[in-house]
Amino acid sequence: MEYTHKEIEERWQKYWAEKKTFAPKNDTSLPKYYVLDMFPYPSGAGLHVGHPLGYIASDIYSRYKRSQGFNVLHPMGYDSFGLPAEQYAIQTGQHPAVTTEQNIKRYREQLDKLGFSFDWDRQVKTSNPSYYKWTQWIFLQLFNSWYNPETDKAEAIETLIQKLEVGSWKIEGDKKWNELNEKEKSDVLMDSRIAYLGEAFVNWCPALGTVLANDEVKDGVSERGGYPVERKLMKQWSMRITDYAERLLTGLDTIDWSESIKESQRNWIGKSEGCSIRFALRHPELVSGSDNEMLKQVQHDENSIEVFTTRPDTLFGITFLTLAPEHELVSKITTEGNKQQVEAYLNYAKNRSERERQADVKKITGQFTGAYAIHPFTGKQIPVWVGDYVLAGYGTGAVMAVPGGDQRDWSFAKHFSLPIIPVIEGSDIDKEANESKEGKMINSDFLNGLQVKEAIKKIITEIENRGLGKGKINFRLRDAAFGRQRYWGEPIPIYYKDGIPYAVDEKDLPVVLPEVDKFLPTEDGEPPLARAKDWKYQGQYDYESTTMPGWAGSSWYYLRYMDPHNDKEFVSKAAADYWKDVDFYLGGSEHATGHLLYVRFWTKFLKDRGFISIEEPAKKLVNQGMIQGFSAKINYLVSEERKGNAPLTEFNTAPINGKIELIKNLSIKGTYDFAEIFLSADAAEGLHKQFNDYEMEWNKIPSKSHIWNIPIEYVNNDGSLNINLFCEWLPKLEKTRKNAIFICKGGYWRNNDFCSFNSGESDKFFIKQEPEKMSKSKWNVVNPDELVEKYGADTLRMYEMFLGPLEQSKPWNTNGITGVSGFLKKFWKLYLNVSEEKASQAELKVLHKTIKKITDDIEKLSFNTCVSTFMICVNELSDLKCNKREILEPLVVLIAPLAPHIAEELWNKFGHTESVTFAKWPEYKEEHTVENSFSYPVSFNGKTRFFQELDVALSKEDVEKEVMALEQTQKYLEGKQPKKVIVVHKKIVNIVV
């Protein structure tokens, strides 16, 4: 009987769905295990072969855990709010809810075909009001909370109000809480709320018409779409994630996450320890007298400059201060004489986009303000500069410049000819700054002679004693922008009364996303929600019109899966207490500083407020490697001189160079009316060889080489192009077959005819293939559907695992899939004629060896070696012609996590009426794998020469005796006396001569 994957897979997928096989048991006495895949965004492109890699791995692990007796929660759902659907809506006018639903449907069909053991009854969609009701509810908790530094956790805002009422929490300007009006009270509280409305510099993306969070911006452009981003001061809902910076950092040490993710988060949080120092200012026009007198006079000046430094030990090396162009003091302190230049500079700095600024890091710019600060220890005057190498958003937006100890300060000083003082012995300040934290202090008054680390301690104490500043910890992490000027997201449950924001009452949740006529901003620049007609809270108050960012819904979804249908709470206490946290979380590393930071933040917050009991959302996290696609690249030649369809002869008369010669050699002469010349990859290779500097030559001639990505499906297995298919596609690029010529090594193709000029050489047109990220725009997406159709889900599952270690990125290549497909056929064949006979020793040995290896490997998530272990096992059992139930039945249970359909089918054939899902995992019995003898490799000076079979019971001494007595040993000794004989039991014999 043949292995018919299609029929078998459909049958069991249906069975699982009907019997709800994968719903966790409602029995809290069972040990729990929670396996979660990162929330997918249902993109319009559907699933490609890279997506299932992680899902397959987590599915194998889930099924394995079920077989081990765990109550497994393994859910799936959709992060269904987001920008792409909305961009599509803007283009087509279709409601994003409609396209999102279509995409989800397609995703689901594709997922279903792969035989995943998800409990679909728990599916959540973030765009569903029954889900986002609770996202909004959590927002309200965040709004109604503040971070109490004394208890080091978030508390209800009421506890802050109490402190304000009794005056134990100070309000800026020493005002009294009870004397404040409604607006002022709101403002005061807003300064502490964890979700707050505040004015801040944000990443504004004009093309997308919205603000983006820091992690959504890469290299100065938006991560989605690659549109330019600019800094803009805006009133904006934000999350005070910075209050959690320290806990987010230390928490990393408690979780088993990949080192690279933890490191990314550490970098992102960017903790640095140092101290703040206040520099008094001196206006030359205003103050006169000796340096020391001035110091006293200006000590308490409001307009002092506060800096943050991690190297207070270098304080005596300060030769100037630099302010960020955005620093508020710049305009206040600039002297009349410098006003013009400084203003011009500020204007220049302002108009440089973030991208430009980042791109030309090396360009040093700045201006002297004319103002001086006073060195707090020496009393000397220090010029104050403004420079855009200082970032407004970090620290205080001002630095004390120590060109002797900081390379950026050094470069600035060199550029503007400012003095440089070495402060560490042995610094060669003519060449570069000495940033080392090792060495002895010099030129530093009372710090002289101290080691850097001692000096840091001493100076901080001194600074604190003199009241100039204090030891301080600074974080790079910024508060997260939470409002998006977009339509397709959760409405923020806030309304405005007399311009004051208030929380929507819990009983009025969800605030449902209103219908709008267009998904665009209003004429006066308000977000799309402002278009909604008659959308008022309690019929009279304006709602907040920004929506939440994509990460809102995904910051707590793992909790909702525990209790997805609860309409009283976001998760019941009982469910949260049982399922606690995610035991095994699998997903891509691209979420390192976005989702994975926010989900930790919300988890900590929800714990602080007593809603859940865990501090971290996921104990263990693994990043599956990215599966890249193979892009097909074609060499495409255009002569710039040959405009339009000008004849090729013109091209031929160009100066002699590589390509012209080639074209000549290929004898394509005369006048042709083709315009597109495509060059086979092997012909292009030839050019490389022929002319050393092909690329350079290429640029000299009046033609241009272009490389195009073309659809990968037009490439044959041998790497050659299917020219016919390709030509049918050409019109999409406004090119035609008629105008195209394909040059191969042995001739050229034109209009379906091959013209040979070099007989014996290939007439194939080769395409260069390169691995790249799979993306629709690169035409290299391979989707799993066809593979499932052809080979079956079990084969695809095993093949994806067989590709290599889970965490390693690799290009997708279908070449090896026949090996796995053949394996499953061979596996199936073992079961054609099962006998009840007792198994032989040899057969039992194979089985138990396999049980041990598979169990160990699944535990280690080493799924690639699992597949090869099964192959070895099946090869060996086939050689033994094994058909014993005693062997084959446990083997079914063993393979079920990887190839669940075939396993169910065979399990069923054994007469079981229950799913193999809950069959007990086979137990490894060592007695079946022990050997009586071992074939010792006998080596001389570490080089293996022959093997000797010996009883394992023999002691080391006996082994040595036996081996030394051998004729072969004597032969290799060549009459010499061995210096030493090393015997490792059941491993090796090494004779040192």
Partner RNA sequence: GCGGAUGUGGCGUAAUGGCAGCCGCGCCAGACUUAGGAUCUGGUGCCGAAAGGCGUGGGGGUUCGAGUCCCUUCAUCCGCACCA
Residues 967-986 that bind RNA (CB under 7 A): 980, 982, 984
Footprint on residues 871-890 left by RNA (CB under 7 A)? 871-872, 875, 878
Task: Spell out the long-range contacts of 963-968 with Cβ–Cβ below 8 A and sequence spacing 24 or more.
Answer: 963/936, 963/938, 963/989, 963/991, 966/938, 968/938
In angstroms, what is the minimal distance from the CB of 357 to RNA? Answer: 5
291 binds RNA (CB under 7 A): no
C-beta separation of 546 from 517 below 8 A: no
Please identify, using beta-carbon distances, which residue of 274 and 550 lies nearer to RNA: 274
Please identify, using beta-carbon distances, which residue of 89 and 806 lies nearer to RNA: 806
933 binds RNA (CB under 7 A): no
Out of 389, 543, 636, 726, the only residue in the binding site for RNA (CB under 7 A) is: 389
Please identify, using beta-carbon distances, which residue of 516 and 874 lies nearer to RNA: 874
- Put the strands of the sheet holding 256-257 in their side by side order: 71-73, 32-37, 584-587, 620-623, 256-257
Secondary structure of 361-427 as H, E, C letters:
CCCCCEEEEEEEEECCCCCCEEEEEEECCCCCCCCCCEEEECCCCCHHHHHHHHHCCCCCCCCECCC
In angstroms, what is the minimal distance from the CB of 146 to RNA? Answer: 25
In angstroms, what is the minimal distance from the CB of 164 to RNA? Answer: 32
Rounded (5°) CA angle 79-82-87: 145
Out of 234, 391, 532, 646, the only residue in the binding site for RNA (CB under 7 A) is: 391
User: What x-and-dash track marks residues 322-361 binding RNA by CB under 7 A?
Assistant: --x--------------------------------xx-xx
Could you give the 3-state DSSP secondary structure of residue 18? helix
C-beta separation of 386 from 323 below 8 A: yes
46 binds RNA (CB under 7 A): no
Footprint on residues 476-535 left by RNA (CB under 7 A)? 476
Out of 406, 583, 616, 682, the only residue in the binding site for RNA (CB under 7 A) is: 406
Q: Which H or E element spans position 842?
A: helix 841-859
720 binds RNA (CB under 7 A): no
Q: Give the dihedral sign, CA 309/311/314/317.
A: negative
Out of 308, 495, 636, 678, the only residue in the binding site for RNA (CB under 7 A) is: 308
Residue of 795, 792, 788, 789 lying closest to 898 (CA atoms): 795
Alpha helices by DSSP H, listed for 51-155, are: 51-67, 83-92, 96-112, 129-143
Out of 283, 414, 472, 825, the only residue in the binding site for RNA (CB under 7 A) is: 825
In angstroms, what is the minimal distance from the CB of 693 to RNA? Answer: 18
Identity at 748, one-letter amino acid code: Y
Please identify, using beta-carbon distances, which residue of 316 and 748 lies nearer to RNA: 316
Out of 297, 939, 960, 964, the only residue in the binding site for RNA (CB under 7 A) is: 939
310 binds RNA (CB under 7 A): yes
823 binds RNA (CB under 7 A): yes
Q: Which two tokens stand for residue 172?
A: 């800026």
Footprint on residues 214-273 left by RNA (CB under 7 A)? 218, 259-260, 263-264, 267-268, 270, 272
Please identify, using beta-carbon distances, which residue of 259 and 524 lies nearer to RNA: 259
Exposure string for 103-134, b = 16+ CB within 10 A, e = fewer: bbebbbebbbbbbbbbbbebbbbbbbeebbbb
In angstroms, what is the minimal distance from the CB of 663 to RNA? Answer: 31
Residue 247 neighbours by CB distance under 10 Å: 17
Q: Which H or E element spans position 990?
A: strand 988-992
Distance of CA 701 to the CA centre of its chain: 43
432 binds RNA (CB under 7 A): no
Please identify, using beta-carbon distances, which residue of 4 and 267 lies nearer to RNA: 267
Out of 786, 942, 958, 961, the only residue in the binding site for RNA (CB under 7 A) is: 942
Please identify, using beta-carbon distances, which residue of 399 and 782 lies nearer to RNA: 399
Out of 24, 75, 96, 274, the only residue in the binding site for RNA (CB under 7 A) is: 274
987 binds RNA (CB under 7 A): yes
Instruction: With both helix axes pointing from N to C terminus, report the angle between 863-879 and 817-830 in degrees, rounded to the nearest 10.
Output: 50
The conformation of residue 97, written as its DSSP 8-state character, comes to: H
Q: Give the dihedral sign, CA 53/54/57/59.
A: negative
C-beta separation of 257 from 621 below 8 A: yes
The window from 97-105, 150-158, 388-396, 608-616 that contacts RNA (CB under 7 A) reads: 388-396
Out of 32, 278, 311, 531, the only residue in the binding site for RNA (CB under 7 A) is: 311
Q: Which two tokens stand for residue 567?
A: 């309409």
- Beta-carbon contacts of residue 325 (< 8 Å; ≥ 6 apart): 345, 346, 349, 350, 386, 387, 388, 392
The window from 46-54, 162-170, 461-469, 807-815 that contacts RNA (CB under 7 A) reads: 807-815
Please identify, using beta-carbon distances, which residue of 387 and 493 lies nearer to RNA: 387
Please identify, using beta-carbon distances, which residue of 286 and 966 lies nearer to RNA: 966
In angstroms, what is the minimal distance from the CB of 955 to RNA? Answer: 16
Identity at 932, one-letter amino acid code: N
Residue of 75, 67, 21, 12 lying closest to 858 (CA atoms): 67
Out of 102, 868, 929, 948, the only residue in the binding site for RNA (CB under 7 A) is: 868
Conformation bin of residue 460: beta by default, left when phi > 0, alpha when psi is -120 to 50: alpha
Bridge partners, 503 (sequence order): 494
Please identify, using beta-carbon distances, which residue of 259 and 734 lies nearer to RNA: 259
In angstroms, what is the minimal distance from the CB of 19 to RNA? Answer: 33
30 binds RNA (CB under 7 A): no
Please identify, using beta-carbon distances, which residue of 637 and 803 lies nearer to RNA: 803
Size of the site for RNA (CB under 7 A): 78
| CA torsion, ordered 410, 413, 418, 420, to nearest 10 deg | 0
User: What x-and-dash track marks residues 571-590 binding RNA by CB under 7 A?
Assistant: ------------------x-
Footprint on residues 607-646 left by RNA (CB under 7 A)? none
Distance separating alpha carbons of residues 119 and 123, to the nearest angstrom? 7
Q: Give the dihedral sign, CA 939/945/951/957.
A: negative
809 binds RNA (CB under 7 A): yes
- Beta-carbon contacts of residue 48 (< 8 Å; ≥ 6 apart): 627, 629, 774, 781, 782, 783, 784
The window from 71-79, 692-700, 838-846, 866-874 that contacts RNA (CB under 7 A) reads: 866-874
Please identify, using beta-carbon distances, which residue of 803 and 959 lies nearer to RNA: 803
Tokens 């980042």 found at: 358
Out of 820, 824, 830, 851, the only residue in the binding site for RNA (CB under 7 A) is: 820
Distance separating alpha carbons of residues 366 and 493, to the nearest angstrom? 45
In angstroms, what is the minimal distance from the CB of 922 to RNA? Answer: 21
410 binds RNA (CB under 7 A): no
Footprint on residues 459-478 left by RNA (CB under 7 A)? 474, 476
In angstroms, what is the minimal distance from the CB of 3 to RNA? Answer: 11
In angstroms, what is the minimal distance from the CB of 2 to RNA? Answer: 10
Out of 42, 115, 209, 395, the only residue in the binding site for RNA (CB under 7 A) is: 395
Please identify, using beta-carbon distances, which residue of 360 and 569 lies nearer to RNA: 360
User: What x-and-dash track marks residues 943-972 binding RNA by CB under 7 A?
Assistant: -x--x-------------------------
800 binds RNA (CB under 7 A): no
388 binds RNA (CB under 7 A): yes
394 binds RNA (CB under 7 A): yes
The conformation of residue 808, written as its DSSP 8-state character, comes to: S
Cα–Cα distances in Å, from 497 out to 188, 370, 494, 550? 17, 47, 10, 27
762 binds RNA (CB under 7 A): no
804 binds RNA (CB under 7 A): yes
